[in-house]
Amino acid sequence: MKYINNIKIRILLVGCLIAVSGTVHAVVTVVTGNTSNRNIAVGQTSSKTITWTVTMGTATPGPFITSAGVAFYANTPSGALLGTSLKILTRTVPGPGTYVLIDNITIPSSIVYSASKQGVSRIAVVRNFTDNVGSANGFANLDITGSGASGFTINAVSVRFDNNQPQRVIKRLQQHKAYIKLTYSGSGLLRGLWEIATPSSTIGQAVYRPLRVVRKHLPGTGIYKLYSPRLPTQTQGVYLVRFRITAPAVSFSDPLIRYFVYSGKKPRLSPVSVFLHQPGPSTALNNKTVFRWNKISQASALRLEFYAVKKNSSLNLGLPSLGQSDDQTSQIKGPLVAGKLLKGSTQKTNISTLTLARLKPGHWYLWRLVVFNKEGNIIGVSKPRKVYSPAK
């Protein structure tokens, strides 16, 4: 009887070994992800189909492979975690080999917004696959196309100081800021930076340094107002401020405003007389147009400036009627779009091809002359005169 029992035990052990050897399956070693359409839009929830290719090696046990959920990362799988989604993906497998799993996932608009807010242009979709013995991660990249897919466009901009003027005379150490007002359509990531040129360079070739980098997601069509950091007022002289838009692409020049810092008694803006001789009012400009003015003996430097005329401006853009004066006293309301620095002894000049290229064909402009003394102070400003950049 004892002998028979030993035989039964041996038979059971052999059966168990056979059963174990019969469950030899695969272990996950490599996972890759791919999608035919990688573009996703800022401000929109997107659906994508990702094809996961899973390679299995020999191991035990597990007759299936599975992934419990999806993780979204900024830019790369090693970037910041943006969020997760619990969505099980599974498949039975007979053994070692390469298997394909089709995955239909949803990328919430909040995930895309979070990525664009961090200034990245890509989202990595990551899944971990396992067969309970081995596991491996795979990822697929999605590209954020905020300006293209969402039609994100900057239509118009206006830059002013916090007193709502494009120019300002301010006492030394007095605090002030500037702001930009943008009219835009669609939604997307605004990228740009506030820049300033200080009195050390504004007499000659202006050199700008950054004040603040801006990355701001603008949702929906509308108007957005953005303030600059506090502007410096420690040094007396002329400062130039601009907001340079780096994305989305814009067709207009960077809007520019200026302010003058003084110490002691507030200076007069026009202690010397400046008279413009030519071109006459409503002249059509070209690279041969001569700009001429009176001799200014006190001038150390001059700056020729061109300001855009707003479409809704009440400025009379026609030729003056006989017996009427040229409308030179019109207030400048548009942004400074171009300029040219000259020696104080200069009495005439032509505008360069580069300056002319900054003037849009078919648009009106006001030009004027600004006079500086050797300390960099403004000692004279001409009345503005209108000119025209003809359509090509």
User: For 238-297, how does the pLDDT look when each residue is reduced to its tens digit (9 = 90+)?
Assistant: 899 999 998 888 877 788 898 988 887 665 555 688 889 999 888 999 889 999 999 998
165 assigned to some structural domain: yes
Q: What is the 3-state secondary structure (H, E, C) of 96-118?
A: CEEEEEEEEEEECHHHHHHHHHC
Q: Are residues 199 and 304 in the same domain?
A: no
1 assigned to some structural domain: no
Do residues 255 and 167 make contact, with C-beta atoms less than 8 angstroms apart?
A: no
How many domains are contained in the chain? 3
What is the Cα–Cα distance from 287 to 107, expressed in whole angstroms?
54
Q: What is the CATH number of the domain that holds 370?
A: 2.60.40.10
Q: Are residues 211 and 182 in the same domain?
A: yes
Residue ending a domain, choose from 113, 144, 175: 144
Residue ending a domain, choose from 144, 178, 196: 144
Residue ending a domain, choose from 230, 262, 294: 262
3 assigned to some structural domain: no
Q: Are residues 321 and 240 in the same domain?
A: no
Residues in the chain with pLDDT < 70?
A: 1-26, 28-29, 43, 58-62, 146-151, 203-205, 265-271, 311-331
Instruction: State how beta strands 25-34 and 348-350 pair.
Output: unpaired
Q: Are residues 55 and 140 in the same domain?
A: yes
Q: Are residues 174 and 63 in the same domain?
A: no
Q: Which residues contact 288 (CB under 8 A, 6 or more apart)?
A: 350
pLDDT for 59 equals 57
**How many residues would you count in the chain?**
392
pLDDT for 271 equals 65
pLDDT for 349 equals 94
